[in-house]
Amino acid sequence: MTTPRRGISKAVIPAAGLGTRFLPATKATPKEMLPVVDRPAIQYVVEEVVDAGIHDVLMITGRNKRPLEDHFDRNWELEEALRHKGDLGRLAQVQRATSPAAIHYVRQGDPRGLGHAVLCAAPHVGNEPFAVLLGDDLIDPRDPLLSRMVDVQAEHGGSVVALMEVDESQIGLYGCAAVHGTGQADVLRVDRLVEKPAPGEAPSNYAVIGRYVLDPAVFDVLARTEPGRGGEVQLTDALQQLAADPSIGGPVHGVVFRGRRYDTGDRLEYLRAVVQLACEREDLGDPFRRWLQEYVTASMPFYADDAVPV
Ligand code: UTP
């Protein structure tokens, strides 16, 4: 078991969104349960939390919470059946999903936005800084981000967001940060945040991605934050208030992430995640890459007259 990191002992994973971009798959199943190769997306996220030394996880769930709870619970019958068959490899895989951390659940009721989902964590978190990880946002385990954010929070106090440079055409899909340098190559001070800026109004091309380490002062701010864009209580709006007035809960810093990230709530990104992670898997990679190469080569004539889609 990894040692708990300084100051952060709890992580919150909001997983109560409607997942409309992935309907109808998400009609009765949370999008966080969609498999990425052979594990649901949320399992990668919980493993990331544990790898950062945090062992208390609160999931914010909605009406479809059963599959999430069942996935992290023990399944004695299945374990017994695999043991009986001598299938110890699969038994280990099944057990790996079981309680890698103490997992708690709270229901959001109405999906009134990410900010509202985080506010539902207040009674569990109490008065200490905590991590937030979006359950559909995967960070490749080879490119650790959360542990760096925890260290930056310990150094600077306040709150820390994860920033990724995106193409200008994409910034309107994200919360966007106006920033200035701190002298540390991967750490920026956040001056201002705007949720999904209109074209031409983005203060930078730094997008806020789904990892946060937050000061508990965010709860009071969220409780006062009116619904914003899309009629939802936006976490970005509350963070903007913290950034604008550091006397509330300390400064807001951003850790610049340059590693591999997949938004599994988006269909195209999801497909990329599955293909890329499958290609890199030790047990599947060779035959899958061979098939993929043959498939792409065989499909080429269909695209011969057009540009090859990216
Ligand atoms: P998204 O912005 O991706 O929204 O939420 P969504 O509703 O889940 O998905 P689409 O856009 O309709 O396809 C970002 C994160 O916040 C959680 C989601 O589960 C996701 O992890 N969330 C969002 C909540 O927990 N509650 C909410 O009310 C909204």
Of residues 129, 124, 150, the one with CA closest to residue 58: 124
What are 5's two structure tokens? 């990191």
Q: For tokens 């649901």, name the residue.
A: 40
**Can you give the pLDDT of all 310 residues of the chain as single tens digits?**
444 445 799 999 999 998 899 999 999 889 999 999 999 999 999 999 999 999 999 999 988 788 998 999 888 888 888 888 888 888 888 787 776 789 999 999 898 999 999 999 999 999 999 999 999 899 998 898 999 999 999 999 999 999 999 999 999 999 999 999 999 999 999 999 998 998 789 999 999 999 999 999 999 999 999 988 888 999 999 999 999 999 999 999 999 999 999 999 899 999 999 999 999 999 999 999 999 999 998 887 666 555 555 5
What are 25's two structure tokens? 């798959």
Looking at ligand 1, which atom is closest to the CA of residue 136? 21
DSSP, collapsed to helix, strand or coil, labels residue 72 as helix
CATH class of segment(s) 11-279 = alpha beta
Q: For tokens 């599947």, name the residue.
A: 284
**Choice from 65, 114, 195, 264 to test ligand 1 binding pocket (greatest atom count within 8 A of CB):** 114
> What are the structural domain ranges in the chain?
11-279
Cβ atoms of 263 and 136 closer than 8 Å: yes
Ligand 1 lining (C-beta closer than 6 Å): 14-22, 60, 108, 111-114, 116-117, 134-136, 265
Cβ atoms of 261 and 137 closer than 8 Å: yes
Read off the pTM.
0.91
